[in-house]
Amino acid sequence: MQTSVKYYLVFLYRLFVVLLIYMLCRYLFFIFNKELFRGITADSAMLIMQGGIKFDIAALFYFNGLFIFLMLFPIRQRHSAMYQRVVGWTFFLFNGLAILLNCIDIIYYRFTLRRSTRSVFGEFEHETNKWKLVFQFLKDYWYIVLLFIGLIWLMKKLYGWVKINPAPDKNRFFYLHAVLFLLLSVTLAVGGIRGDFKHSTRPITISNAGEYVNRPNEIYLVLNTPFCMVRTWDVHRLREVNFFDDTELKRIYSPVHFPGNDTTAFRKRNVVVILLESFSKEVTGFYNHRLDNGTYEGYTPFLDSLMQHSKVYWNSFANGRKSIDALPSVLGSIPAGMDPFVLTPYASDSIYGLPHILRDQGYHTSFFHGAPNGSMGFSALIKLLGVEHYYGKDEYNNDADFDGMWGIWDEPFFQFFANTLGTFKEPFFSTVFSVSSHHPFKVPAQYANTFRKGPIPVLECVGYTDMALRKFFETAKQQPWFKNTLFVISADHSTVTFHPEYQTPVGDISIPIVLFQPEDSTLRGVDSSRIIQQIDIMPSVLSYLHYPHPYFAFGKNVFDRYPASLNFGVSYLNGYRWFEGDYLLFFDGKKSRSLHNYKTDPLFTHNLLKQEPERVREMERNAKAFVQQYTNRLIRNELVVGNEVHP
């Protein structure tokens, strides 16, 4: 048994060596680029180090999976000199590559202001003088070569300090403890890659680094290049497109908003955004009085009643199909593209979202999500968007209300939300994200058989969350801040549907979006002509508040009287879906594929591409302008007014 213990201690020591070298690479990255990271305090440095360790651990497991497997493979011959030689070469090959990537970025970061990702290979794929560039780099930055050699030497030296006894392990329980230790290591690897062991946590990605910084550029001190390479390997990299010159492009479509000559004073009303998990438009009765020959009631009686006293847009759409698409869209006016924005290399771009803008106007900003803190990477993302205060399962601090899977049941958490809002100094901006209308589609035991079940299991949960929403408003309207608050209610995305009318390219992204202000009679009625989408929420809220300064948002202000050509909606699902007025154009990024009038042809049986060539040309022009602005600005990190740089 003593031999086995020593073997596992050597294994853990070697992983510690990896972690130590990765941490040293981060320190060197900072030292060589410290002029780009001014203003770091002792507190922020400790936070960066804390996050850095988490990302180094993830990179360790990504790059040392084969090494770990070979070290722990349950055969007695693993102690032999030959076997350990193979293990050693595996260790140095993969970790040498990781060190090389980190060393390259010590210099390359100065030119890109980003950690290198998978896209770097595409940036040089058309260069005919690649090797000349490599040799020039080695010549100009010879000291980085020496640094790389020095780090490899140090790693080899540390690795060799502790050796394994080549004698076979003859312990009779060898296979038992070998298999158990292998399983334990797999479990730890899963936790290391995910960032923790919570059920609802996804593997950490680039945007999670925002949780540990005070300034966007400090993200790159938290990250390491090997991690960024792995996490972006399967992500579609963007290529700049140039359909139009700058003058024509801005004339057709620009995401830079200028409020104009509105002299109305900025009104500091509270803003509360309520995001409802998986509330497709189909679940409501308000939008669907014609379904089932006029007999359809829906599953949201309270939301339906609230819509009677709200501003409702008949044509309302999500900009993605995932929960992680919703927050950038709603709070930052940044839609998903081929991949969710938070999973792209551009998630670390400078962002000046709605919470950040309102915070600069003196607002208290907060975000509520009943899931375990860090779930879905929300805590990191909302910090990048400008939210100061996060309230999750930890802050709720009562596991008696935990659903056992995703988070705190919506009813008690919405009450916590309402009562906590009452403790904030006005004006405040806050968002709550519901959790209960989600697989495995359960409601609290005391509500068994209370809500209609319907043909799909999520509907019972929708009824429960609708009830939680009603009780939230009952509590909120008793509080002094209620009458001075603009409420924005939206689904995060649509979900499985059961009517043919919703099993279409329009139906599968149709969601309710509701604007409600208790004291404002102008926010009433149904608008059946304007299109509203999640990315329109930010500019529309700023317009409603009479925000006076220029700002950046890919969406439009629905209160503006834009020309019809800019009454648009967009979503990317295996190609762009471009809405204008009553029409939907399928555009693959280069050419149009089909055109449909989704009002008169809800089941998409007629392709009008050839019948209406003029409309196709106009809509394609507008779609191309949007694609060019979206693609190039993400690549160039031009998501903030005044942050435009042109090559």
DSSP symbols for 337-365: -SS-GGGSGGGGS----HHHHHHHTT-EE
Calculate the alpha carbon distances from 7 to 26, 63, 425 in Å.
29, 21, 58
Is 341 exposed, middle or buried, given 0-12, 13-18 or 19+ CB atoms closer than 10 A?
Answer: buried
Q: What does the CA dihedral 219, 220, 221, 224 come to, rounded to 10 degrees?
A: 120
SS3 call for 429: strand
DSSP state of 309: T
645 lies in some domain: no
The answer to whether residues 220 and 279 belong to one domain is no
| Cα 431 off chain centre by | 16
Mention every residue, 6+ apart, whose C-beta is less than 8 A from residue 338. 236, 238, 572
Looking at the DSSP assignment, which residues form a beta bridge with residue 545?
Answer: none
3-class SS letters over 116-132: CCCHHHHHCCCCCCHHH
Residue 525 vs residues 225, 272, 280, 311, 556: alpha-carbon distances, Å = 52, 20, 20, 5, 20
* CA 308 remoteness from chain centre: 33
Instruction: Tell me, yes or no, whether 219 and 143 share the same domain.
Output: yes
204 within a domain of the structure (yes/no): yes
Which phi and psi (to 5°) does residue 289 adopt?
A: -65, -15
- CA gap 568, 556 in Å, rounded: 8
**Domain count across the chain:** 2
Q: What is the pLDDT of residue 579?
A: 96
| 218 and 252 share one domain | no
Give me the pLDDT at residue 292, please: 93
Q: Is residue 327 part of a domain?
A: yes
Based on the domain organization, do 329 and 188 belong to the same domain? Answer: no
How many Cα atoms within 13 Å fall on the side-chain side of residue 171?
17
Give me the pLDDT at residue 565, please: 53
> Which H helix or E strand runs over 513?
strand 513-516
Whether 617 and 477 share a structural domain: yes
Q: Quote the tokens at residue 263.
A: 């002299």
Q: Verify that 611 and 466 share a domain, yes or no.
A: yes
Do 217 and 279 reside in the same domain of the chain? no
Tell me the C-alpha to C-alpha distance, in Å, between residue 67 and each of 15, 70, 99, 138, 167.
10, 5, 16, 30, 20
629 and 504 housed in the same domain: yes
Which residue range is the domain that position 107 belongs to? 2-231
CATH number for the domain that contains residue 371 = 3.40.720.10
Residue 428 β-bridge partners = 364
> What are the residue ranges in the chain where pLDDT is below 70?
1-4, 111-113, 119-130, 132-133, 169-170, 195-202, 215-216, 235-236, 261-263, 562-565, 574, 643-647
Q: List beta partners, residue 108.
A: none
> Does a structural domain hold residue 203?
yes
CA max distance for the chain: 85
What is the C-alpha separation between 580 and 585, in angstroms, rounded?
A: 8
Task: Provide the pLDDT for residue 3.
Answer: 54
For residue 520, tell me if it sits in a domain: no
Q: What is the DSSP letter of 582?
A: T
Whether residue 313 contacts residue 531, with contact meaning beta carbons closer than 8 Å, is answered with yes
Q: Which of 138, 45, 130 is nearest to 100 (CA)?
A: 138
Does 395 share its domain with 425?
Answer: yes
* Helix-strand-coil split of the chain, %, nearest 5: 50, 10, 40
Q: Are residues 347 and 439 in the same domain?
A: yes
Does 592 reside within a domain? yes
- Tell whether 647 is covered by a domain: no
Flag whether 238 is in a domain. no
pLDDT of 445: 95
**309: which 2 tokens?**
């006293």
pLDDT digits (tens, 9 = 90+) for 578-605: 999 999 999 988 888 899 999 999 888 8
Residues 598 and 546 in one domain: yes
Can you give 377-411 as a three-state secondary structure string? HHHHHHHHCCCCEEECHHHHCCHHHECCCCCECHH
Q: Do 504 and 542 fall within a single domain? A: yes
Instruction: Return the structure tokens found at 404.
Output: 């056992």
Give the phi and the psi of residue 327 in degrees, each rounded to 5: -65, -45
User: Which of 313, 290, 281, 288 is CA-nearest to residue 529?
Assistant: 313
